[in-house]
Amino acid sequence: MIELQPIGKIISPYLEKAGTPIQMTGSETAGKIEIFKEYQEGLRDLEGFSTLIVLYQFHRIKETSLEVVPFLDDVTHGIFATRSPARPNRIGISILELMYIEDNMLHVKNLDVLDGAPVLDIKPYVSAFDSIENTRNGWLDKRLKDSDFKKDDGRFN
Does residue 144 lie in a domain region?
Answer: no
In a domain, 149, yes or no: no
**Res 156 pLDDT > 70:** no
Q: Is residue 145, in this structure, part of any structural domain at all?
A: no
pLDDT of 52-66, one tens digit each?
999 999 999 889 999
* Cα separation, 68 vs 116, whole angstroms: 25
Which three-class secondary structure state does DSSP give residue 3?
A: coil
pLDDT at 74: 85
pLDDT of residue 22: 66
Q: Is residue 71 part of a domain?
A: yes
CATH of the domain at 15: 2.40.30.70
Distance CA 68, CA 96 (A): 26
Average pLDDT, the chain: 87
Q: CA 67 to CA 79: how far, in whole Å?
A: 5
What is the domain count for the chain? 1
What mean pLDDT comes out for the span 116-139?
A: 90
Domain membership of residue 103 (yes or no) is yes
pLDDT value for 73? 82
Task: Give me the domain span that covers residue 22.
Answer: 8-128
pLDDT, one tens digit per residue, over 19-53 is 777 655 556 789 999 999 999 999 999 999 999 99
